[in-house]
C-alpha cells in the first residue's frame, strides 16, 4: 500500500512537471500571423501559444505561412554572399511537414522577400517531381543539390525563415530563373516585384 502511494505521488509530480513544460513551450510549429493583416495564427492544441500571442516572438524555427494572408508581399532579387539569407538565394533550413505535427526535414528553400529584420519569406524546393494536385514549377538543377538533381519550386506553400534557423547558404539563383519564379508567384497571389 505504501509503495503504491509513493508511485502515485511520483506520477502526479511527473504529470505536473510535464504540464508546466508543455504550457511554457513555444516550438515554432505554428503558422505566422502576417504583419500586413490577414488571419490569426493557427496553432496546434497544446503548443503553449496563448491567444493573441505572436507565435514567432521568440522562435527561430521555420514556419509555414498562408500565402493568401500576405497580400502586400514585394518580391525582390538581392543575393549577397554574406552568410545571411537574401532574396534570390537558395538556403537550407528545417521545414515542417504539411501536417504541422512537429515533424519536418532539412531542405533547400528559395528566399523571395524580406519578412522582418530577422526573417525572410521563402518557397521550398523539392528534387522529387510531384503529382498531388499542388502546383510545382520546374527550376532545373543547381549547386544547392550536391547530386545535381533537377528541382521544382512548390508554389502552394510559403515559409517564414529566421536568419538563425538557416543551416547554410547554398547558392544564388540566377536572375532569369528567379524572375520566372517571381512571375508565377505574382500571377498566383498578386504580389509585386520590388525595385
Of 89, 147, 146, nearest to 123 by C-alpha is 89
The pLDDT of residue 143 is above 50: yes
Give the pLDDT confidence score for residue 110 in this predicted structure. 96
State pLDDT tens for residues 57-68: 568 888 899 999
The pLDDT of residue 48 is above 90: no
The pLDDT of residue 47 is above 70: no
Q: Indicate the pLDDT class of residue 50, thresholds 50, 70 and 90.
A: very low
Average pLDDT over residues 152-180: 91
Average pLDDT over residues 5-21: 46
The pLDDT of residue 71 is above 60: yes
Give the pLDDT confidence score for residue 51 in this predicted structure. 42
Total-model pTM: 0.70
Q: CA of 118: how far to CAs of 49, 54, 59, 84, 160, in Å?
A: 20, 15, 11, 10, 10
Amino acid at each position: 500500500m505504501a509503495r503504491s502511494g509513493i508511485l502515485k505521488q511520483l506520477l502526479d509530480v511527473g504529470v505536473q512537471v510535464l504540464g508546466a513544460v508543455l504550457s511554457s513551450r513555444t516550438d515554432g510549429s505554428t503558422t505566422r500571423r502576417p504583419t500586413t493583416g490577414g488571419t490569426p495564427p493557427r496553432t496546434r492544441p497544446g503548443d503553449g501559444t496563448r491567444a493573441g500571442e505572436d507565435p514567432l516572438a521568440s522562435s527561430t524555427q521555420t514556419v509555414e505561412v498562408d500565402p493568401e494572408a500576405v497580400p502586400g508581399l514585394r518580391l525582390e532579387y538581392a543575393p549577397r554572399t554574406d552568410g545571411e539569407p537574401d532574396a534570390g538565394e537558395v538556403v537550407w533550413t528545417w521545414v515542417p511537414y504539411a501536417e504541422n505535427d512537429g515533424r519536418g526535414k532539412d531542405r533547400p528553400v528559395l528566399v523571395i522577400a524580406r519578412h522582418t529584420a530577422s526573417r525572410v519569406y521563402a518557397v521550398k524546393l523539392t528534387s522529387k517531381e510531384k503529382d498531388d494536385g499542388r502546383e510545382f514549377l520546374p527550376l532545373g538543377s543547381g549547386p544547392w543539390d550536391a547530386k545535381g538533381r533537377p528541382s521544382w519550386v512548390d508554389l502552394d506553400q510559403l515559409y517564414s525563415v529566421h536568419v538563425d534557423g538557416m543551416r547554410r547558404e547554398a547558392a544564388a539563383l540566377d536572375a532569369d530563373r528567379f524572375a520566372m519564379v517571381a512571375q508565377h508567384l505574382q500571377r498566383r497571389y498578386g504580389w509585386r516585384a520590388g525595385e
